[in-house]
């Protein structure tokens, strides 16, 4: 591979890496939201259940 | 004079009177700009180009302005006074205009010391540098007054204002340095005038939203 | 997200995937190589769309900020914040791909002569300060309005800085090398570019909707927690 | 004079006021009570126009020029003298015969001797009286008072009480409304 090709590949990989990193962040966020929702649901049940 | 001009005059007089009474911003700016120039002298190699010296002058100017702007809404913030001004039957942009004028006054006084000092330490000062300084002051004060009010509402004021201000000051520095160095400074001075107009109008129109909820 | 939203988001995501894959494939294999820059010019197909998307987000964020100031509806604060946040992410990507392109074209990671990139750096610095303003102001109408006004200043800064960088070029650092990617390019290149641009924009819109939904869920969970506490 | 329907105000995700209804007729005296943090100050700020409700309708049939607002803060510059402070506000509110009115108010609230001293040298009680001078300077039709009797000695409190009886429309926030109970024509309790 010529050096130019290496750099072009690098640029596209950086873009791909950014997309994947963003997906990971979103996945973590969804996980956190689910956790928080579960806590609140439990809290609500306790409140109603007495 | 129109009601607006009267209000701006009243508020600007108050700002200048406050400074004369507390005497903390102006002496600090004067001392800072001269000591900055002296430090720059040692920071520069003996055969430094004109442009390096001019560049450092503008850096000294921007940071002197920052020093003044950090104190701009100090009284209103520390004593929770902004409500008093916002309550008054006054166009809220008059508060901004008065503060911008007082910043220009303090900057002009600091430059009245800095320009001769620069001529003494570095190289003679041309008319185009003086014109660029005057134009840049207007833009810096217009933007700075609004950002100072914005930063006043935040926790880390002294830290935040430079971060908000410096990117917006880049065009002023480009225009200023360009006007002082280029053979025909007209295009740079024209640019500075445009910069002033754009941001003065935007600051004037949006200040109301920065001080009310 | 409500169900029609979820369908729309799914459609956007698939469109993004399709356009991007197709566009990049066209760009790499089908579009002719640039006469003087050769293969390294292929970075153009990702760098420029990402930069344009970043600008689009900053403009969109300013539009939402204007809406917030005129209607006081704090829904726009979240939208403006998300848009600027996406703008900064794509801005970072623009700077990275831009410097890779500079490295392969002229052997140095950064060249002040490249006007577009220098302008982008100024705008990027400005919008990074946007977050400093948000993090240091307590949540509430004060933060919403200050952020909105600041976002409006950003939009004014872009053309002013564009002009400043241009005239700075005439004396401060003569532009030795620059990617003057005018539109006068072979149609194949332009077609590949448009497809890539469509792909990046669709991807950006997808991310925007997902992140906005995430922030809204965050807000309503907090409200729920407050009521239950 | 003032009409509020379903007023709501939120600070970030904390809802401070929710579903508030109130009416204050001309010359009425509304007493707003409630513990600290119940939103009394927020309500007064809404009436003063310093903030806007997130939801609901609020009508205040008085422009800013005729509203007197006594906040927790005296809203006077510590570096300026009492005279300079009142002169500043007098100009901003375009008070006719500014000097005479300033003198009369300083006299009435017992600050005439200290008129040329900086507000920074004033005691808390004197500052509160200067704030009262500022509040009454432009003879407001609507008075918004936030814990007015805090930091006032008995003499100051009596002076204020006489002033309140002057037939103006008044909205007062206080958590120990001893002195105000007799004057109130309506009450609003914030939880």
The whole-angstrom distance between C217's CA and the closest CA on chain B is 25
Chain C interface includes A2 (CB < 8 A): yes
Tell me how far apart the alpha carbons of residues C124 and C157 are, in angstroms, rounded to a whole number: 11
C100–A4 CB contact, under 8 Å: no
B75–D77 CB contact, under 8 Å: yes
Chain D interface includes C180 (CB < 8 A): no
Burial of residue C138 (number of CB atoms within 10 Å: 0-12, 13-18, 19+) = exposed
Nearest Cα residue to C149 out of B208, B197, D92? B208
* pLDDT tens-digit series, residues D21-63: 888 888 888 989 888 888 889 999 999 988 888 888 999 988 8
- Using an 8 Å CB-CB cutoff, list chain C residues near B163: 129, 132
The reply to whether D27 falls in a domain is yes
What is the arithmetic mean of pLDDT over B43-66?
89
- Using an 8 Å CB-CB cutoff, list chain A residues near C89: 18, 22
Touch between chain D and chain A: 3 or more Cβ pairs under 8 Å: no
Nearest CA in chain C to B195: C160
- Using an 8 Å CB-CB cutoff, list chain D residues near C223: 13
Q: What is the CA radius of gyration of chain B?
A: 17
The reply to whether D19 falls in a domain is yes
Touch between chain D and chain B: 3 or more Cβ pairs under 8 Å: yes
- Using an 8 Å CB-CB cutoff, list chain B residues near C137: 153-155
DSSP code at position C41? G
ipTM: 0.90
Tokens at B95, concatenated: 């508060």
Parallel/antiparallel/unpaired status of strands D2-11 and D55-60: antiparallel
Q: Which CATH number belongs to the domain containing residue D172 in this structure?
A: 3.40.50.300
Q: Which of D7, D8, D12 to mutate to test the interface with C (most CBs of C within 10 A)?
A: D12
- The gap between the terminal CA atoms of chain B, to the nearest Å, is 31
* pLDDT tens-digit series, residues B154-171: 888 889 999 999 999 999
Look up the pTM and report it: 0.91
B202–C133 CB contact, under 8 Å: no
Note the pLDDT of residue B23.
Answer: 86
C211–A26 CB contact, under 8 Å: yes
How confident is residue B32, by pLDDT bands cut at 50, 70 and 90? very high
A4–C214 CB contact, under 8 Å: no
The whole-angstrom distance between B75's CA and the closest CA on chain D is 7
Touch between chain A and chain C: 3 or more Cβ pairs under 8 Å: yes
Compute the count of residue pairs across chains A and C with CB atoms less than 8 Å apart: 62
- Using an 8 Å CB-CB cutoff, list chain C residues near D13: 139, 219, 222-223, 226
Note the pLDDT of residue C180.
Answer: 58
Domain count, chain D: 1
Burial of residue D41 (number of CB atoms within 10 Å: 0-12, 13-18, 19+) = middle
Domain count, chain A: 1
The whole-angstrom distance between B211's CA and the closest CA on chain C is 8
Domain that holds residue D20: 2-62+141-189
Q: Which CATH number belongs to the domain containing residue C191 in this structure?
A: 1.20.120
Compute the count of residue pairs across chains B and C with CB atoms less than 8 Å apart: 95
Note the pLDDT of residue B45.
Answer: 84
Phi, psi of B156 (to 5 degrees): -100, 75
How confident is residue D159, by pLDDT bands cut at 50, 70 and 90? confident
Nearest CA in chain D to B91: D92
* pLDDT tens-digit series, residues D78-133: 999 999 999 999 999 999 999 999 999 999 998 999 999 999 999 988 999 999 99
Note the pLDDT of residue C135.
Answer: 93
D80–B83 CB contact, under 8 Å: no
Nearest CA in chain C to B147: C150
A33–C217 CB contact, under 8 Å: yes
> Contact C171/B181 with Cβ under 8 angstroms?
yes
Phi, psi of B23 (to 5 degrees): 45, 50
Domain that holds residue C75: 3-228
Tell me how far apart the alpha carbons of residues D121 and C56 are, in angstroms, rounded to a whole number: 55
Compute the count of residue pairs across chains C and D with CB atoms less than 8 Å apart: 22
Q: Which residue matches tokens 């072979």?
A: C186
Chain A interface includes C211 (CB < 8 A): yes
Domain count, chain C: 1
Exposure string of B44-64, with b = 16+ CB inside 10 Å and e = fewer, is beeeeeeeebbbbbbebbbbb
Exposure string of C197-229, with b = 16+ CB inside 10 Å and e = fewer, is bbbbbbbbbbbbbbbbbbbebbbebbebeeeee
> Contact B18/B79 with Cβ under 8 angstroms?
no
Burial of residue B189 (number of CB atoms within 10 Å: 0-12, 13-18, 19+) = buried
> Contact C43/C212 with Cβ under 8 angstroms?
no
The whole-angstrom distance between B164's CA and the closest CA on chain C is 6
Q: What is the CA radius of gyration of chain A?
A: 22
Render each residue's pLDDT in chain C as its tens digit; 229 residues: 567 777 888 888 899 999 999 988 888 888 888 777 788 888 888 999 999 999 999 999 999 999 999 988 889 999 999 999 999 999 999 999 999 998 888 888 888 878 888 899 999 999 999 999 999 998 888 999 999 999 999 999 999 999 998 888 776 665 555 565 555 678 888 899 999 999 999 999 999 999 999 999 998 888 888 777 7
Q: Which residue matches tokens 């009680």?
A: D125
* pLDDT tens-digit series, residues D6-31: 998 887 667 788 888 888 888 888 98
C157–B171 CB contact, under 8 Å: yes
Domain that holds residue A20: 1-50
Note the pLDDT of residue C175.
Answer: 54
* pLDDT tens-digit series, residues C194-228: 999 999 999 999 999 999 999 999 988 888 887 77
Tell me how far apart the alpha carbons of residues A34 and A38 are, in angstroms, rounded to a whole number: 6
Tell me how far apart the alpha carbons of residues B10 and D136 are, in angstroms, rounded to a whole number: 20
Q: Which helix (H) or strand (E) holds D60?
A: strand D55-60
Parallel/antiparallel/unpaired status of strands D29-33 and D55-60: unpaired
DSSP code at position B68? H
Q: Which residues pair with D146 in a beta bridge?
A: D173
């Amino acid at each position: 591979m010529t050096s130019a090709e290496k750099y072009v590949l690098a640029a596209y990989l950086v873009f791909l890496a950014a997309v994947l990193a963003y997906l990971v962040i979103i996945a973590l966020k969804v996980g956190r939201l689910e956790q928080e929702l579960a806590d609140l649901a439990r809290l609500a049940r306790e409140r109603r259940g007495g | 004079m129109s009601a607006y001009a009267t209000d701006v005059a009243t508020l600007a007089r108050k700002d200048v009177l406050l400074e004369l009474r507390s005497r903390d911003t102006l002496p600090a700016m004067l001392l800072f700009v001269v000591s900055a120039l002296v430090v720059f002298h040692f920071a520069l190699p003996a055969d430094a180009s004109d442009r390096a010296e001019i560049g450092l002058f503008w850096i000294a100017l921007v940071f002197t302005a920052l020093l003044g702007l950090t104190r701009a809404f100090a009284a209103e913030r520390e004593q929770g006074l902004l409500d008093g001004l916002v309550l008054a039957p006054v166009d809220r942009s008059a508060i901004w205009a008065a503060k911008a004028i007082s910043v220009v006054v303090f900057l002009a006084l600091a430059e009245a010391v800095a320009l001769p000092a620069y001529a003494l330490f570095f190289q003679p000062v041309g008319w185009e540098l003086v014109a660029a300084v005057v134009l840049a002051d207007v833009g810096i004060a217009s933007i700075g007054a609004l950002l100072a009010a914005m930063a006043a509402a935040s926790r880390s004021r002294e830290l935040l204002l430079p971060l908000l201000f410096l990117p917006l000051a880049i065009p002023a520095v480009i225009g200023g340095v360009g006007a002082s160095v280029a053979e025909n400074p007209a295009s740079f001075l024209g640019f500075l005038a445009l910069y002033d107009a754009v941001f003065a109008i935007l600051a004037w129109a949006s200040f109301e939203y920065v001080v009310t909820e | 997200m409500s169900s029609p939203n979820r369908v729309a988001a799914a459609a956007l995501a698939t469109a993004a995937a399709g356009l991007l894959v197709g566009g990049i494939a066209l760009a790499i294999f089908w579009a002719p190589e640039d006469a003087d820059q050769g293969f390294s010019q292929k970075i153009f197909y990702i760098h420029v769309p990402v930069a344009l998307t970043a600008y689009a987000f900053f403009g969109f964020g300013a539009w939402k900020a204007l809406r917030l100031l005129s209607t006081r509806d704090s829904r726009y604060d979240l939208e403006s914040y998300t848009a600027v946040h996406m703008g900064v992410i794509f801005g970072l990507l623009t700077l990275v791909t831009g410097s890779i392109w500079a490295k392969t074209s002229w052997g140095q990671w950064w060249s002040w002569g490249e006007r577009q990139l220098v302008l982008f750096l100024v705008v990027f610095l400005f919008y990074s300060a946007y977050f400093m303003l948000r993090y240091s102001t307590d949540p509430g109408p004060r933060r919403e309005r200050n952020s909105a006004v600041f976002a409006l200043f950003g939009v004014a800064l872009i053309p002013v800085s564009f002009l400043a960088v241009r005239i700075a070029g005439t004396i401060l650092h003569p532009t030795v090398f620059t990617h003057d990617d005018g539109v006068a390019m072979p149609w194949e290149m332009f077609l590949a570019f448009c497809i890539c641009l469509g792909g990046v924009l669709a991807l950006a819109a997808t991310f925007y909707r997902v992140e906005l939904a995430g922030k809204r869920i965050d807000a309503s969970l907090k409200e729920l927690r407050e009521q239950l506490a | 004079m003032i009409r509020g329907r379903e007023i709501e105000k939120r600070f970030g995700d904390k809802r401070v006021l929710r579903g508030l209804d109130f009416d204050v007729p001309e010359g009425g005296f509304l007493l707003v009570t409630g513990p600290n943090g119940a939103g009394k100050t927020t309500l007064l700020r809404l009436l003063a126009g310093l903030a806007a409700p997130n939801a609901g309708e609020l009508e205040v049939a008085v422009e800013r020029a005729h509203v007197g607002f006594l906040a927790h803060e005296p809203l006077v510059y510590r570096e300026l003298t009492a005279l300079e402070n009142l002169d500043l506000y007098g100009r901003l509110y375009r008070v006719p015969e500014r000097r005479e009115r300033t003198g009369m108010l300083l006299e009435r609230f017992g600050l005439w001797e200290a008129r040329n001293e900086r507000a920074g040298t004033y005691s808390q009680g004197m500052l509160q009286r200067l704030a009262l001078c500022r509040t009454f300077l432009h003879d407001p039709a609507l008075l918004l008072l936030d814990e007015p009797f805090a930091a006032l000695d008995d003499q100051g409190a009596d002076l204020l009480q006489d002033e309140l009886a002057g037939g103006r429309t008044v909205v007062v926030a206080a958590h120990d409304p001893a002195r105000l109970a007799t004057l109130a024509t309506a009450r609003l309790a914030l939880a």
